[in-house]
Copies of this chain bind each other. A is one copy, B any other.
Amino acid sequence: MNRNVYIDNMPREKALQLFMDGLQSNDWFAKTTEWVAVRESLHRTTAEPIIAKRSSPHYVASAMDGAAVKSTLTFGASESNPVDIMASDYLEVDTGDYVPKEYDAVIMVEEINFFPDHMQIIKAAVPWQHIRSIGEDMVEGDMIVPSLRLIGPYELAAFITAGVETVPVIKKPTVAIIPTGTELVESAQIQMSPGDIVESNSYMLMSLAQEWGAAAFRHEIVIDDREQIKQAVREVKAQADVIVICSGSSAGREDYTASIVRELGELLVHGVAVRPGKPAILGIIDHKPVIGIPGYPISAGLIFNLFAKPIIYRKMGISIPEAIIIEGSISKKLPSPMGVDEYVNVNIARIGAKLIAYPLNRGAGLSSMLVKSDGVVHVERGQEGLQTGACCNIVLNRSSREIENSMITLGSHDLSIDFLIDMLYRKQGIRLVSTNVGSMGGIMALRRKETHFAGLHLLDEKGDYNISYLHKYLPNEKYLLVNLVKRHQGLVVAPGNPLGIRGISDLAQKGLRYMNRQKGAGTRILLDYLLKKEGVAGAQINGYNREEYTHLAVAAAVKNDACDTGMAIFASAKAMNLDFIPVAVERYDLCILTELVSQKQLDALLATINSSEFKESVSNSGGYELDLSGQIIYSHNL
């Protein structure tokens, strides 16, 4: 095996400095200018000062609707001594009309009495009144804007007015992206085998580059073959200002990027002390920057942001737009090794006076976390992570208004929560952030006052739901327990139920592969309750310790033959065309901490649950009963 064992662990700033210095000494940052038609110049950056080519107005113009006169003819006019001016001695003008040389004032239409052959005025005109001089707006030779200015709608219009028809702008740097990896396929529409991965990183990186103002193009996927990757680099080199090689998600034996950069140019950095994204590669080939990007999407995005963004902005001669940074406190301990800069995606919500940052799953392979992320907490090198409740700066991905309009629910997940998320935003302008921590996790989050509400379906030994748990864990809180849905829980099995599973008692069958839910999940508690009833021990079940975190994930495991069955709600089986053996109907309630939500939020939430659109959507999913939906089950201390 030809593994790249010698990966460095260079501090981020040093790596960037080396890269910048290398590019500087290759004169890569030299400004490149191109001329574009002014009408195509929106959002480009001026490369030189833009100078007015003609004055505006380019003639002496009337500033009013009225009549142009020679002011001497009006002298002495007053209410008691109206002055008549013959038609041959004045010129009717509208605003913007040319005022010929023989006139030196304009009288407003409101101050004129017109007669067939003359007009009468009762006030003398001051010389040059209501006359716009040449170049009042812009004068030929005026600098309209200096260099390195963004051309917005107003600049563009001013250029046109000033007779500027083409403008020198900074040429967009072109980023070429080469996706590599034998496991990659171009699209999920084709038949995919196990191990195939749809190539999407290149589109993420192209989109980022475009947002920054660069142009981007993509080479087709190159398999893990050193010669072919080298060939691809050679192909894109001529048209590209920046070459990006995306590794396959394999960081292992098929990673040829570093050795190719070393062969064709200069390898500056291989391995940066950041997480995620350590195996990043920085180099220079033919005076152009080359970046080797790790395969996991979160690593890819981070490395591109850390190393491509600053060089692209500097090449364009403009500053990176200001990040919006807010201060929050971290909801749970965030351990991080001393030696690396770590970037952690978080959700954010305001809970009372505090903005709380909820760290998302740190798996670098989870592209969904980039979508969920509201912001990023940077745990700096030299820090040993953050303690629960610690203050942290968060670089926002969303507007702070959107953050302030957010509610959060930590607890059990149900598909109906997705309808709630969609409808609350669409109808009420409230963004609902939902994090699945299971029902017991939800109870604990309520107890710590870290969530506005929580979805719970916790069965107690008497066969009742939720209330006894709340009594135990939230003895003093004020809360409202509202039913969201009742739902069918059951065993999800392959179509046709090939193993002939009839119910809970069959789970201990030898060879049957079960998929459980995580500890604290209401579904696991339900399973344990039912197993106890049937006299089956967890240890008898193959896969009792194999855990998934959602209903859909359990169903997906069944569908893909990673297990034979697992307990989940009906809707998840239906979503994947699987069979379903019902075992229970359970109550899924929302426990709302009334002190943490405003009346407006509470009203919006209840109105949404009680709306016919919500009920229809849930009902169409199947496996739900809605007779209690929206009803207040219980209230405490209110």
Residues of A participating in the B interface, judged by any CB pair closer than 8 Å: 3, 39, 42, 49, 53-61, 63, 65, 94-98, 100-101, 109, 127-128, 132-148, 152-158, 160-163, 165, 183, 187-189, 192-195, 197-201, 203-205, 207-208, 210-211, 248-254, 295, 297, 301, 317, 319, 321-322, 363, 365-368, 370-371, 373, 399-401, 415, 418, 421-422, 425-426, 429, 545-546, 548, 550, 552-553, 555-557, 559-562, 572, 575-576
Contacts and interface: CB of A to CB of B under 8 A. Distances in A.
A301 B152 CA distance: 12
Nearest to A152: B207
Contacts of A251: 65, 94-95
B556 A139 contact: yes
A199 to B, nearest CB: 8
Given A140-B576, A161-B297, A367-B158, A426 B317 contact: yes
A377 to B, nearest CB: 17
6 contacts: A56-B198, A63-B365, A96-B250, A154-B371, A157-B207, A165-B188
A295 B194 contact: no
A73 to B, nearest CB: 17
A382 to B, nearest CB: 26
Contact of A550 (B54, B139, B321, B560): B139
A377 B176 CA distance: 44
A379 to B, nearest CB: 21
B366 A153 contact: no
A97 B183 contact: yes
A59 B371 contact: no
A64 B98 CA distance: 78
A576 B140 CA distance: 7
A138 B370 CA distance: 12
Contacts of A576: 140-141
A127 B327 CA distance: 41
B365 A137 contact: yes
Contacts of A183: 96-97
A223 to B, nearest CB: 14
Contact of A163 (B61, B189, B400, B572): B189
A278 to B, nearest CB: 13
A54 B65 CA distance: 67
Given A96-B195, A141-B572, A157 B367 contact: yes
Contacts of A148: 425-426
A342 to B, nearest CB: 19
A249 B96 contact: yes
Given A3-B109, A163-B189, 6 more contacts: A136-B553, A138-B368, A142-B368, A158-B370, A158-B371, A160-B188
B556 A154 contact: no
A203 B157 contact: yes
Given A153-B207, A204-B157, A370-B158, A422 B143 contact: yes
A156 B203 contact: yes
A135 B415 CA distance: 16
A561 B59 CA distance: 9
Contacts of A208: 153
A97 B157 contact: no
B418 A188 contact: no
B94 A254 contact: yes
A306 to B, nearest CB: 15
A326 to B, nearest CB: 13
Contacts of A560: 55, 58-60, 134
Given A95-B250, A96-B249, A157 B109 contact: no
B198 A95 contact: no
Contacts of A363: 136-137
Nearest to A165: B189
Nearest to A548: B133
Contacts of A154: 204, 297, 301, 367, 370-371, 373
Contacts of A197: 57, 96
Top 7 A-B pairs ranked by shortest CB distance? A163-B188, A153-B207, A141-B575, A59-B194, A157-B204, A154-B370, A98-B194
A137 B556 CA distance: 12
Contacts of A42: 207, 210
A55 B249 contact: no
Contacts of A161: 188, 198, 200, 297, 367
B156 A367 contact: no
A580 to B, nearest CB: 14
A146 B422 contact: yes
A194 B158 CA distance: 19
A201 B161 CA distance: 9
